[in-house]
Structure 1
Amino acid sequence: MPLRTGSVRKVAALGTKCPLKRSLQAYGLPVGHNPRVSVECCLRRRAAAPGPRANRSAERLERRRERARVSISGGYVGVGRTAAVAALVVTGFGLAACGDEEGKDDAAGKVKVVYEDEAVKPENRQAVEVIRKSRVLERTADWVNASVALPHDMVVKVTDKVPPGVTDAVTQPDGRTIFVPPAFLTQVEGVVGDVVKTVKRPALFPEDKFNKADLTALATQFVLGHEMGHALQRQLALPNLGLEEDAADGFASFYTVNEIGPDPSLAAAMVFDELARKEGELTLEGFSSDHPVTQQRVFNFLCSLDGKDPKKFDGPLVGAGYLPRTRAPLCPQSWAALDYGWWTQLEPHFSRKFKGQGDKRQEAARAHLIAETKAFAEKLDEIRSGQ
């Protein structure tokens, strides 16, 4: 009598990297797409690899086996074959292709930047040209395309034809479209002009970039990082442990600090600080917004940057008075948690080509978080006493 396989779909061509899959094929069982068995397969593979990840995978594998129940209907199948199949098929007889363990297929969605020149109003063309020449939007798109396998295409539209009520950069609910209104870029350029005229350049920020064009481009790069954080959360259905706006700001810091350097964070901090001054006294709407208070975001940006490398940034940020001394001791552990958090969120969605590098960076971020948490615990009494 045959084993009950439910609605498992047969597939014509199967990879052979997964030993569980090979065993099922050897017994002539149909192999389909069952994500639970795919997890089993991938855990077995990881458990066999060296390193701390292997220990965690082995523990998870053992827990899954303890919970597993195999339902076999029908009569006698043959003692040897039944025992082997029962040992193999711990979560069902369908098996998803285990290609996920090697990274997602690169034949997936891609990010594209589109400048709708015919839809740009004359008064906004200068700001658009600054952004186009800087290629800051394209650089962000290139990183996502190289690192993440998106389920759908994504378009970053620079256009004045935006949905009703849109006045700044926004991401649509499905994460497939980011609007960057040229009118918003012109507004950023205007705020940057005031910064250049009235703000003393921080010593950490390069003198040759302290001008309207470069500051506008760098601040816009950070803003697109924020919107890309929204888009990734929505396209990939990433779990959230807090407000989505906080996570989007976190991705902007995660991406720019890791991949670009300090300049976008510093530019964004200067622009947001100027915006906060222009906002004046906080209103009920400001306090109740899903966005953090503007001035608070300034310190969050600086804290993430400082936490990345306190030895490098404590002097020019904390010593110069830009980041309060009461906040600075919290930043290394805070950055480590943010960094590991985003690598872990993205890990199941790494592209095939990036997976090896991405896994190493995630493991390094995890080790860094463990070390920083231990160091934070050792200093906690001193930190509390000093506040």
Structure 2
Amino acid sequence: MSKKKVGPNPGRGARRAMSGGILAAATMAIFGAPAMPQAQAQSPSVYASDLPDYHVIRDGDTIWDLSGSYYGDPYQWPRMWSYNAHITNPHWVYPGDIVYLQEAPPAQAAEADASPAAAQSSEQPVASGMYLPTGGMITAEELAYTGRIIGSPKEATMLGEHDPVWVGFGEDAYTEREREETKEEDRTAMEEQEVAVGDRFAVVRLQEEITDEEGNALGQKYIVLGSVVITEVSENHAETAMIDQSWREMERGDVLVPYERQLKAVQPRQAEDDLIAHIVDTLQPGFAFGTDQYVFVDRGAEDNVRVGNRFFIYQRFEGLGRPGTAPDDEIPWQRVGQVLVVDVRENYSTAIITKASREIVVGDRLEMYAGY
């Protein structure tokens, strides 16, 4: 099907596509390649008071008509054009493309390199972002363990914020009794670590291995439980530490890794590329998830994903079908939510669900748009 030049105003030279077959369409592409996202927005007439982020152009649409439908005034077509800098000429737009209907928020880089001290100065939301724990991660490389929680004076199995603990590093990561009762090959290897009062370490717990549909290993899943700070160092017994951050319960035996800033100031950041991804796992076990829960995304730094980027969540579902059930191919994509990236690794990212109009499940499609 050939592409034909279409003006913003059909009354000024732009002809509509008729059932007989002349294609005249209006579009502004969000995606640089035709194989990019297929999710479709609803008819513009539905959104008289609730303007969506974008519209997918259909046969017969024009910028002129869309401006009238969404803004209530077709003469506002230059406004619509202004939100789509990637379109150099509004007369050259085509069906299947996507046009932004609102101005994208300004780019604001996340303070990923701020010092740990700055992170502790306040745990309240910042003006243009919020403080969020990383929650967890998926990485293809095993983390470098340095230490381990070997005990606590607290008479409880579960440990949390402000609880004192005893920690060991290197060869001292296991007590003498533990070494006698276990084989060396059954103990997790620890790297030697010189510690001093005030040193901080992240506390993590290894979860299951993540595999693809064919069973091939993709990476290891870790939960970030919180962090500890060394309060006393001794040559004769285990070091004493205090749990200063705790987002999940800790236990004796949880391991320590070199500290990375765990409580991050996450601010919305414009994406540099269009990208399709999928939810491959979640932080908490379960089948369906909603807002404020963490998910793992199969795209990372190698794909130009950055902290603060946002993905829209899409599903194809029939109303009576169970979430996660594959529908017929004729069922269109529906946008059902959004996630915010809070931590980025080489090939994977951790994100938090910020919006959800329906249950979110593993396998859901994610789309990131350049400039948003």
Of Structure 1 and Structure 2, which has the larger fraction of its residues in helix?
A: 1
When the two structures are superposed, what TM-score results if normalisation uses the length of structure 1? 0.27
Tell which has more relative contact order, 1 or 2 (C-alpha 8 A, sep 6+): 2
Of Structure 1 and Structure 2, which has the larger fraction of its residues in strand?
A: 2
When the two structures are superposed, what TM-score results if normalisation uses the length of structure 2? 0.27
